[in-house]
Amino acid sequence: MTRLSVNVNKIATLRNARGGNNPNVVQVAKDCEHFGAEGITVHPRPDERHIRYQDVLDLKEVVTTEFNIEGYPDDRYLELVEKVRPEQATLVPDPPDVLTSNAGWNTIKHMDYLREVISRIKSWGVRVSIFIETDEELINAAAETGTDRIELYTEPYATNYPTDKGKAVAAYVKAAEQARKLGLGLNAGHDLDLNNLAFLKQNIPYLDEVSIGHALVCDALYYGLENTIQMYKEKLRDA
């Protein structure tokens, strides 16, 4: 089974646009779980433009499925992960001012740094996943960092899917097979939606988890949150 983790960053963006606490991020996360999501993802950034650090602490008290904290592993992020002890920490190579995660780790160049950080996080009993592209050498190096999983960066897949879905998924299938041979768990995320998700799942049936936020929240405006989560879960069901 591939788990659906709902990224609630966009809920926080909407809240922050007006101030106050509407929509309530904690309540939405609880509702997502109630409606069938198997995890909640957050990505607190240094400027707190969407998820705030206090949100992460508040969510720790209520999330009953898998809690996944994404972020660049600077001191503040590591302190937060140590305090919260989520089920999973997903490491992304974002500079502080980036709009959204748009590249994976160069695991060869940053091998020593990643080894040190991953060892530290795992000592807290937290599973580690690292955001990565489909390059085979980088995946091989990822296995040497000590990470438990990789998360495939799927924006190129989503971009190319409308014109040639077979070609779009080919590199991901190869990367997934390599990760599996190396004993790495496999997550995926970025620009996955109701149009392209099922095809990815069909071609990589052993995906452990997908993290989806922006598209899911946009769909919820039309279909409602409960119905939307069920629609995404349907795309992930094994044939």
| Position 238 pLDDT exceeds 90 | no
DSSP classification of residue 48: -
Question: If pLDDT is split at 50, 70 and 90, which confidence band does 94 have?
Answer: confident
Domains of the chain: 3-236 (3.20.20.70)
Side chain identity at residue 140, one-letter code = N
pLDDT at 95: 64
What's the full length of the chain, in residues?
239
| Position 227 pLDDT exceeds 70 | yes
Could you say which of 43, 50, 66, 209 is catalytic? 43
CB atoms under 10 Å from CB of 183, counted, come to 8
CA-nearest of 15, 89, 115, 113 to 55 is 15
pLDDT at 97: 58
Strand partners, 189: 153, 211
The span from the CA of 157 to the CA of 2, in Å, is 18
* Residue 190 is a catalytic residue: yes
DSSP classification of residue 100: S
* Residue 34 is a catalytic residue: no
List all residues 6 or more positions away from 130 whose beta carbon is below 8 Å from its beta carbon.
90, 91, 104, 105, 107, 114, 118, 142, 145, 147, 149, 150, 151
Could you say which of 33, 133, 151, 190 is catalytic? 190
Could you say which of 70, 133, 151, 209 is catalytic? 70
Side chain identity at residue 126, one-letter code = V
Strand partners, 4: 210
Q: What is the pTM assigned to this prediction? A: 0.95
* Residue 70 is a catalytic residue: yes
pLDDT at 112: 97
Question: If pLDDT is split at 50, 70 and 90, which confidence band does 146 have?
Answer: very high
| Position 67 pLDDT exceeds 90 | yes
| Position 239 pLDDT exceeds 60 | no
